[in-house]
Amino acid sequence: MQIAQQIQDILTTEFTPTKLDIIDDSSKHAGHSGADPRGESHFSVLIVSDKFVGESRVNRQRLVYGALDQLLKDRVHALALKTMTPAEYATATAT
């Protein structure tokens, strides 16, 4: 199973997100320290979930890192996170 799919499965199970975007940024890091020659080592994630209501930005990231702990130890070198509540996302995307 691809790493991005594993991230999606774990975050969907743990957070029941209303929005989840996972972008594989690995190609931007080819040849750099920590880049896995197999790819799928660097990701950017936007996750919107009710589970973040009342949580600080730091604690939200800790929750996500905790859920992805094994992947971060074994396979993922870098993970850029944007964690939002549905209300924050609605405000950020309002036109």
Domain edges within the chain: 3-93
Name the CATH topology of 3-93. Answer: GMP Synthetase; Chain A, domain 3 (3.30.300)
State the pLDDT at residue 44: 94
State the pLDDT at residue 30: 57
pTM attached to this predicted model: 0.85
CB-based burial, 39-58: b 16+ in 10 Å, e otherwise: ebbbbebbbbbebbeeeeee
Summarised one tens digit per residue, pLDDT across range 19-52 is: 999 998 876 645 555 555 555 778 899 999 999 9
